[in-house]
A and B are shown apart, each in its own frame.
Chain A
Amino acid sequence: MLLDFSRLGPWRLVLVLIALLVGAYLLLPILLIVGLSFGSSRWLQFPPPGWTLRWYRELFDDPAWIASFLTSFRIAAVVTVLSVVIGLMASFGLTRGEFRGRELLRALFLTPMILPVVVLAVALYAFFLRLHLNGTFTGFVLAHLVVALPFSIIAISNALERFDRDIETAAIVCGASPLEAKLRVTLPGIRLGLMSAALFSFLASWDEVVIAIFMASPDLQTLPVRIFSTLRQDLSPVIAAVSTVLIALTAGLMALAALLRKDARS
């Protein structure tokens, strides 16, 4: 009755109405940004009086924006590699190790994900002041790595737990050394977990803004930091253009993730 859409009776109308409203609430702001980025009004009139690519030109002609884009990308790329490698090792230890305090250690590794980022941001800012790491590439990578690692550990641990350990054992009985069995059988077996670990690690660093705001220097600014500081001054339509680029990237990654899931099911 209540779980059968066609038998909801008058309740169906209520449900459809709320779903429609919430769907609009979630979708319209995103469409608005995309619209504004092509709109000709500097004052963000909507609907726009005309259409233009001017904000995109301003964006791509500004070396500061390009530099931020590249900075974010470089940091996220290094963070992704390190996060997957360290996360893979930690996941092996957590799922297969036989030592006391494993669950406690797992909880510790996941804590950076659940604590308010602002606390970590302030704490790291103070810590890096002493080490002179604020405003450095290394500093950014270390900080973002702490934020990305939990995602990597969750994705890889889940994949490792689902992977039938007997398959690795079978490879060893077949004559492969334990290391060879891991490289040739286990890693390909958990490749979807590794890919989603990479995806989430990249996004965790790419979208990270709170820590970056504290750590950034005028010379080294990630994309989110530049957006944030621009937003504090005015609501330039260039931000709409940046945001649209980011939304397109997100949609692309979503499609990729959907493909991965489809691949996993077949």
Chain B
Amino acid sequence: MTLSHAAHVPSPARPRRLPAGLAAVTPAFALVAVVFVLPVLALLLRSVLEPEPGLQNYAAFFASTTYLKVLGNTFLVAATVTVATVLLGFPVAWFLAIAPGFWSRLLFAVVILSMWTNLLARTYAWMVLLQRTGLINRTLMNLGLISEPLPLINNLVGVTIGMTYIMLPFMILPLHATIRSIDPSVFQAASLCGASRWQAFTRVMLPLTATGIAAGALMVFVMSLGYFITPALLGGTSNMMLAELIAQLVQSLLDWGLAGAAALVLLVVTLAIYAVQLRFFGFGQARS
């Protein structure tokens, strides 16, 4: 397209009768204010009002070893998933950026297909694969590698495997864009300067992709923190994550005050990480 390629004097060609713009954003604003901001604020407010005004819900949350363990589980799983997606996603993004056309297009299609496939369908697949009599356990037993089925489901192992699967595309796609944007001639230059492959990797490639890795990692980490479906289906009742806890406090225990407190903890952590991301990397990728 030739469109706006010609750099030129800033075009002030604006018809005078501009819509103020305010009228146009009103419906969206009303929707977000009433169906988003208001309910969320109301929930957070309940954490300091119910059952009576005060901070006792937060005191209870941070005093309870059960809840602190949930918080610990949440961070542990999110961190493990983040590390796993970086370690697996980086080589894949690299491969996608440089492999011959057909193979990179094929793998790319697989990544996109898996990302777009219904979350429940994917989680179902992992429930089937990871169960006691599932494909993985049976294969390992048939191979004689194990004699007893490994406990792969209803615990944090299952949650981690399933969430890594779901988060991988969110790491691969932005990293792929980062690697594609590197000018290949920097490596020719590095080579002429006498750098070995390993030196070129550690001294040129990693620094050039560091911001991409960090941005992807932050996004995966923050998405994992608040994830609900996969932990609810692949996790066990004894090892909950924060999102499940919030749901359970509301659904089974009807403890709205404590649920509000837990929600605020989750929101504060999430927003803090997004603030870091916004500060250092600008707006990240869209989350699906």
Contacts and interface: CB of A to CB of B under 8 A. Distances in A.
Among B4, B126, B131, B179, the one with the most A-chain Cβ atoms within 10 Å of its Cβ is B4
A235 B153 CA distance: 13
Contacts of B122: 29-30
B141 interface: no
Contacts of A19: 91-92, 95-96, 99, 103, 107
Given A115-B270, A209-B119, A209-B120, A5 B197 contact: no
A216 interface: no
B35 A243 contact: no
Given A3-B182, A5-B99, A178-B17, A145 B31 contact: yes
Given A169-B13, A169-B14, A92 B19 contact: yes
Contact of B32 (A94, A96, A99, A149): A149
B88 to A, nearest CB: 5
Report, as a range, how many residues of chain B touch the other chain: 35 or more
B100 interface: yes
A228 B187 contact: no
Nearest to B205: A2
A112 B124 CA distance: 26
B220 interface: no
B286 A164 contact: no
B147 interface: no
Contacts of A18: 88, 91-92, 95
A116 interface: yes
Interface in A146-161: 146, 149-151, 153-154
A182 to B, nearest CB: 10
Contacts of A92: 19, 21, 24
Interface stretch (B51-59, B65-73, B224-232): B224-232
Nearest to B187: A1
Nearest to B43: A123
Interface in A121-162: 121-127, 142-143, 145-146, 149-151, 153-154, 162
Nearest to A210: B228
Interface string B203-231: 01100000000000000001001111100
Interface in B98-134: 98-100, 103, 106-107, 109-114, 116-129, 131, 133-134
Interface string A28-55: 0110110010000001101000000000
B92 A247 contact: no
A98 interface: yes
Contact of A123 (B27, B42, B126, B135): B42
Interface string B35-46: 111111011001
Given A19-B96, A97-B19, A126-B256, 10 more contacts: A3-B98, A15-B91, A15-B99, A19-B91, A26-B111, A89-B24, A119-B267, A122-B246, A122-B263, A235-B131
6 contacts: A3-B187, A19-B99, A26-B111, A90-B25, A166-B13, A240-B128
Interface of A: 1-5, 8-9, 11, 14-16, 18-19, 22-23, 25-27, 29-30, 32-33, 36, 43-44, 46, 86-87, 89-90, 92-94, 96-99, 102, 105, 108-109, 111-127, 142-143, 145-146, 149-151, 153-154, 162, 164-166, 168-169, 172, 178, 203-204, 207, 209-210, 214, 224, 227-228, 231-232, 235, 239-240, 242-243, 246-247, 250-251, 253-254
